[in-house]
Structure 1
Amino acid sequence: MNETCNIAASLPRLAQERPTQVAIHCPNGSGQYDSALTYAELDARSDAIAAGLSRYGIARGVRTVVMVRPTAEFFLVMFALFKIGAVPVLVDPGIEKRALKQCLDEAQPEAFIGIPLAHVARLLLGWARSAKRVVTVGRRFGWGGTTLAQIERDGAGARAQLADTQPDEVAGILFTSGSTGVPKGVVYRHRHFVAQIELLREAFGMQPGGVDLPTFPPFALFDPALGLTSVIPDMDPTRPASADPRKLHAAIRQFGVTQLFGSPALMRVLADHGEPLPGVQRVTSAGAPVPPEVVAKMRRLLPETAQFWTPYGATECLPVAVIEGRELQSTRQATEQGAGTCVGRPVPSNEVRIIRIVDAPIPDWSDHDVVPQGEVGEITVAGPTATDSYFNRDAATRAAKIRERLADGSERIVHRMGDVGYFDSEGRLWFCGRKTQRVETADGPLYTEQVEPVFNTVPYVRRTALVGVGESGRQRPVLCYELEAGAPVGAQAGIEAELRAHAARHSHTVGIDTFLRHPGFPVDIRHNAKIGREKLAVWAQKQTDG
């Protein structure tokens, strides 16, 4: 018999097959890991919480904000909500407070589950006023509702909980980080989560019994469905660039971690720390392109047999394509000469196509133009994990989704990634940057990922960012740059001369003659890796006007 279409459907089976295997290790905030859930405990306790939530009025289809730190309670709550068919709403708490309130207002939640600090903010800042059922994870003060502990007691001893959720039922609303625009609530259906698990299993060969260190908590939700043990790192997940590598290595040694997931910023932390990772067999990094030098350093720290994967995708569709570190390293020279960043080959079941760049909505697939191989265009994807809408954002949905009628008369949604790129003669996909961040000069467009890697090779330059100043179609390209912490005092003139020399050598960079040193680029909250070029463009405009 096929399992129910639900990310939690594998828990009862795993609880029977491997009841004593630890599903999740969580730190206590004091550097110790004294909290663990076995598969049997995760299944039984999430059943109890699911039953208690149902009795409290949080049931199938109820949109429920979850603002809980990555503790055991977070995973118990999430799996309980999945089991009863409620709809968790996840908003990154690190985003700007005004945007966070807007996200919660748009989601129109009917329930709110959070730690005490989240409830204080809810009351003071007017978050989620539509929520009539409130649950506190921890001590409840004067804001009413109930506590998670009481919910679990109320549901203790309940029979197994698992709603017969259907593939097209809404399973969750996940808000994007807003790093390249206003955060939007991506509607996930149960089939999307289940498909992600299968694609991850097949793409990376994940087998039950492995030990994972997922430094982005929502990714840990996939681990129980894959039969893995999750070790939640002792770090602030919204600031991976500030993670303490010694704590990460301590957890890796203590639990025998075999695989880890992290943003490029976290990979840099581990790479710069320089301590070998002898037991780690698989590293996965996503969220932004991983700098070639970081890949090279990480490869030297890992065993020869280990794999370093950099999947390409987005909240709306993940994974789209994957590339292993060895192949990525082999493309480094091309990247540094302006080819873009190779993100590998599409994951089977995905159909990736490149279309002509337009900024307007494309309602029907027949209204597009697929560009020839080697030509830069917008990346689109159709496949089992491609989501089909944003919650309460009809204009954004129209801008990002294309309806395609297939030969058999059925329809599917094609997602516009909002990224530009091309396919090479070997069928590999190359990422050239965000569509909205291209610079439209009088001589044609410039793409960030074809320009910046050329300049990132200059000694003492930490990273660069291409922005445009002026009217689209006649923009003036400006290269902003950061210096390494160890750059010699007074070296700026020589560095700018070298940047100019690089600009003259490459066809992708000819015409760039304005270089501005910036003290520290704005970056996204979630991964600390995506550069806020929109903010830099405003800054550059002021600098050039002056």
Structure 2
Amino acid sequence: MKSNGVQNISDHLYQSALKFPDKPMLLHPGKVSYKVFCKLVDAYATGFINSGIVKGTKTIVLLKPGVDFFATTFALLRIGAIPVMIDPGMGRKAMIQALANANAGAFIGIAKSMLLKYISPKNFKSVCIWISGGCCWDMQVKHLSTFRKKGGKNYEVAKTKPNDETAIFFTSGSTGPAKGVVYTKQMMEAQIAGLKNHFNYNPKEIDLCTFPLIGLFSMCLGLSVVLADMDMVHPARLQPEKLVLNIYWYGCTYLFCSPVVLQKLAEFCVQENLKLNSLKRIMTAGAPVTPELLSNVARVISDEAQIHTPYGATEALPVTDINHKELLHLYENSPNYLNGICVGYPLEDIKLKVVPISDEAIKKIEDVEECDKSEVGEIVIQGENVSQGYLNDQLADKLSKIAAESGNLLWHRTGDLGRIDDKGRVWYYGRKSQRVQTETKVLFTIPVEAVFNRHPQVERSALVGVVANGKTEPVICIQAKKGTHKSEKLVDELKELALQQELTHNISEFIFVKKFPVDARHNAKIHREKLAEWAQKMRK
């Protein structure tokens, strides 16, 4: 990976400020140019240094998306400190447990988050520096506002090496405890290059930001950013008309969002007969994207616009890509998801293999054979944009990383199941940990659930395994659509659907759940482990 004169990730931001100083970096809320924003970053960097935050200091950041959030993050990167990012939507208990593992030395957050210092002192005993983004109620707490008022630059930019830890981003915790993913400078550079080269990002674009991490990358690429008028912690609560106004008012050309955001936006535009003609590229990821959703979105954008459904994870962004026109053609004559979800082709700099399913550690990539074409196995990947390790988690590293040939970059086991078709496209079948192994077969969540999701009265379904007489049996949890209730007729119809497919013909037990537990970030990743525990209790 060539450095392009970049010795620090934040250099991308400053290079943009030199090229077009008066160009808006943030258009909403408030208008801030690249030049003015960099001055704010300098002020914060100076304040952090004076407060004792130095190169290598892990620093928890719990600020709301906005000028202070982005300026704080870039200032930490500028001085070589390591921002630690986590999604508060996972819940306070899970968040505290995850952050306790960070062993952070500093904490920067909104005033309310300062309460963690007293709520759970043992989990934050390593934190010596507390900086508040709000009003002061503790004389020990320093303020971002103080740094902003003092201004000025009095620090040295940290020179970072490719393998230096640069940031920590926690996984969503949707399939287990949240893990801290270590981002190195090389990994972040590769992600920036991938967005620029594969997706053709350019400084003329205007990004409607619904997810702060992607906003950071957009700023590194010189885009103007509009922060969406929505609660980014709870995207399902958004009011789509506000996003439409964001797009119309600022002429947004690019949008990255989760499928739940895109669905609400598309439904509103179809209902109101609105067109989003300024959008040239939409990227949606984090959960399955249905053909119906793609069709609806295609109705409200221009014919030239592209909808991308890239596949990736916190450990690697992005891994594959495909556009909506090819997807709609693929699904034209095929029942939805009975053969998995197509997530596209591996990106140019990604090596991707499918290996036999195993819950055991794999020491060397030479120890495993690749699956045959169209055989379902675990997706493993290698590339410069792929994380090489987790934060203070040797067990996760052991189970998720595979040594490569000749000391090259480690391979990462995604924990996702899939296959590769004869065209080189990857098809996703669900999480490895959520497969159900019976005495006679292995059942995967995506194709099994697709059988029952076709019923017009089913909102969504979830495959889980329950143990009876020492044997694992498949059970389908059903979340019915609003206004629909469990009935003998509905259960009989679901059983009939099961009998129509070889895959599901032995499934006959259905448990109705009022509302599925899902992740806050995408409102779509079903916590099947919780449903399995509940279903097991129902059996007793």
Q: What TM bracket, shorter-length normalisation?
A: over 0.9
Q: SS at 1:207's partner residue?
A: coil
State how far apart, in whole Å, the 2-side matches of 1:467 and 1:491 are: 19
Query: Bigger CA drift: 330-339 or 109-118?
Result: 330-339
Q: SS at 1:213's partner residue?
A: strand
Which residue, 1, 5, 8 being the options, matches 1:6? 8
Matched, 1:496 2:491: yes
Query: Bigger CA drift: 324-333 or 371-380?
Result: 324-333
Matched, 1:426 2:423: yes
- 1:455 alignment partner in structure 2: 452
Which residue, 38, 44, 61 being the options, matches 2:39? 44
Deviations 1:260-296 (A, max 9, x none): 1111111221122234322211111111111222122
CA contact (8 A) 1:238 1:527 kept: no
Which residue, 69, 85, 90 being the options, matches 1:74? 69
Q: SS at 1:477's partner residue?
A: strand
CA contact (8 A) 1:5 1:167 kept: no
State how far apart, in whole Å, the 2-side matches of 1:414 and 1:471 are: 37
State how far apart, in whole Å, the 2-side matches of 1:492 and 1:194 are: 55
- 2:279 alignment partner in structure 1: 280
State how far apart, in whole Å, the 2-side matches of 1:470 and 1:212 are: 49
Structure 1 residues 51 and 205, CA gap change in structure 2 (3 angstroms): same
Matched, 1:142 2:141: no
CA contact (8 A) 1:94 1:525 kept: yes
- 1:30 alignment partner in structure 2: none
- Cα displacement (A) at 1:25: 3.2
Letter matched to residue 476 of structure 1: E
- 2:227 alignment partner in structure 1: 232
- 1:289 alignment partner in structure 2: 288
State how far apart, in whole Å, the 1-side matches of 2:428 and 2:468 are: 25
Which residue, 5, 15, 25 being the options, matches 2:27? 25
CA contact (8 A) 1:263 1:529 kept: no
CA contact (8 A) 1:378 1:421 kept: yes
State how far apart, in whole Å, the 2-side matches of 1:337 and 1:141 are: 54
Deviations 1:89-118 (A, max 9, x none): 112112232222222211011011111001
State how far apart, in whole Å, the 2-side matches of 1:471 and 1:486 are: 33
Q: SS at 2:101's partner residue?
A: helix
Q: SS at 1:390's partner residue?
A: coil
- 1:475 alignment partner in structure 2: 472
CA contact (8 A) 2:384 2:409 kept: no
Q: SS at 1:388's partner residue?
A: coil
State how far apart, in whole Å, the 2-side matches of 1:11 and 1:70 are: 18
Letter matched to residue 20 of structure 2: R
- 1:522 alignment partner in structure 2: 517
Query: Bigger CA drift: 499-508 or 374-383?
Result: 499-508
Letter matched to residue 247 of structure 2: I
Quick one: percent identity of the two aligned structures?
37
Q: SS at 1:7's partner residue?
A: coil
State how far apart, in whole Å, the 1-side matches of 2:206 and 2:19 are: 17
- 2:384 alignment partner in structure 1: 384
Matched, 1:417 2:414: yes
CA contact (8 A) 2:45 2:155 kept: no
How does the TM-score come out when normalised to structure 2? 0.95
CA contact (8 A) 2:43 2:152 kept: yes
CA contact (8 A) 2:174 2:525 kept: yes
- 2:536 alignment partner in structure 1: 541
How does the TM-score come out when normalised to structure 1? 0.94
State how far apart, in whole Å, the 2-side matches of 1:245 and 1:388 are: 38
CA contact (8 A) 2:41 2:74 kept: yes
- Cα displacement (A) at 1:170: 0.3
Matched, 1:132 2:137: no
Q: SS at 1:529's partner residue?
A: coil
CA contact (8 A) 2:13 2:221 kept: no
Deviations 1:357-389 (A, max 9, x none): 000111221222211111000000000111011
Structure 2 alignment gaps of length 5 or more:
none
Structure 1 residues 396 and 63, CA gap change in structure 2 (3 angstroms): same
Q: SS at 2:90's partner residue?
A: coil
Q: SS at 2:336's partner residue?
A: helix
- Cα displacement (A) at 1:504: 1.5
Map 1:101-112 → 2, pairs under 5 A:
101-112=96-107
Map 1:265-414 → 2, pairs under 5 A:
265-273=260-268, 274=270, 275-332=274-331, 333-334=333-334, 336=336, 338-405=338-405, 409-414=406-411
Structure 1 residues 221 and 161, CA gap change in structure 2 (3 angstroms): farther
Query: Bigger CA drift: 73-82 or 208-217?
Result: 208-217
Letter matched to residue 25 of structure 1: L
State how far apart, in whole Å, the 2-side matches of 1:381 and 1:453 are: 26
CA contact (8 A) 1:4 1:166 kept: no
Deviations 1:447-466 (A, max 9, x none): 01111122212112111111
Letter matched to residue 8 of structure 1: S
State how far apart, in whole Å, the 2-side matches of 1:496 and 1:205 are: 49
State how far apart, in whole Å, the 2-side matches of 1:540 and 1:334 are: 32
CA contact (8 A) 2:381 2:411 kept: yes
State how far apart, in whole Å, the 2-side matches of 1:403 and 1:111 are: 34
Structure 1 alignment gaps of length 5 or more:
27-32
CA contact (8 A) 2:364 2:404 kept: yes
State how far apart, in whole Å, the 2-side matches of 1:287 and 1:187 are: 20
- Cα displacement (A) at 1:335: 5.3
CA contact (8 A) 1:440 1:473 kept: no
CA contact (8 A) 2:49 2:155 kept: no
Q: Number of matched residues? A: 532
Provide the aligned C-alpha RMSD in A.
1.8
Letter matched to residue 348 of structure 2: P
- Cα displacement (A) at 1:254: 1.2
Map 1:254-265 → 2, pairs under 5 A:
254-265=249-260
Query: Bigger CA drift: 429-438 or 100-109?
Result: 100-109
Letter matched to residue 86 of structure 1: A
CA contact (8 A) 2:434 2:528 kept: yes
Deviations 1:201-252 (A, max 9, x none): 2221211111111211121101111111111112111211111101111111
Letter matched to residue 327 of structure 2: L
- Cα displacement (A) at 1:497: 2.7
State how far apart, in whole Å, the 2-side matches of 1:225 and 1:184 are: 25
CA contact (8 A) 1:458 1:495 kept: no
Query: Bigger CA drift: 97-106 or 526-535?
Result: 97-106
Structure 1 residues 337 and 378, CA gap change in structure 2 (3 angstroms): closer
Structure 1 residues 258 and 358, CA gap change in structure 2 (3 angstroms): same
State how far apart, in whole Å, the 2-side matches of 1:502 and 1:167 are: 53
CA contact (8 A) 2:460 2:480 kept: yes
- 1:182 alignment partner in structure 2: 177
CA contact (8 A) 1:48 1:157 kept: yes
Letter matched to residue 262 of structure 1: C
- Cα displacement (A) at 1:124: 2.4
